Copies of this chain bind each other. A is one copy, B any other.
Amino acid sequence: MKFMDIGEVAARSGIRPSALRYYEEAGLISSVSRHGLRRQFPPEVLLQLKLISMGKSAGFSLGEIAGMFGSNGVADLPRAVLHHKADEIDRQIHELTALRDTLRHVADCPAPSHMECPTFRRLVDMAGKRGGKHANAKKPKIGPASR
């Protein structure tokens, strides 16, 4: 009773079976065996799915996520690459923080036109003094989400 079949994983993770099959196809997760036809998933898969969901939420594509943590546990990417990814996320956290504060400001500031409110402008400028990740005109990523 160690293993779960896809329905249970779906129930526990909130991710549809079709998506789970898709993830397996994409090499993000892997089932350990089959019971008849049925995939059997180990409990770790739930943790992996959480990681995947966080990665998606960060705007990484499934491909990038597969790169970060391979289907069986966690990838052995060079430290530098991982730190670089972490830095990207860090930049994004700052952007989101600015967005959050901007939204709250908009909700509360009584000024008629926000475009002229200095507080507003300061908040927007907050994000990306030097907009690293999103400064490429060639292949704008995320979309996603997140892209």
Q: How many copies does the complex hold?
A: 2
Q: Mark A106-144, 1 if CB is under 8 A from B, else 0.
A: 111000011100001100100110010011110010111
Instruction: Say yes or no for A146: interface residue by CB 8 A criterion.
Output: yes
With CB as the reference atom, state the residue of chain B lying closest to A54. B99
- In whole Å, how far is A136's beta carbon from the nearest beta carbon of chain B? 7
Do B56 and A142 touch across chains, with their CB atoms under 8 A apart? yes
In the complex, A146 Cα to B115 Cα: how many Å? 26
Residues of chain A at the chain B interface (Cβ within 8 Å): 10, 14-16, 19, 44, 47, 50-51, 53-61, 68-69, 73-74, 79, 82-83, 85-86, 89-90, 92-93, 95-100, 102-104, 106-108, 113-115, 120-121, 124, 127-128, 131, 134-137, 140, 142-147
5 A/B residue pairs, CB under 8 Å, sorted by A: A79-B107, A89-B99, A90-B100, A142-B145, A144-B145
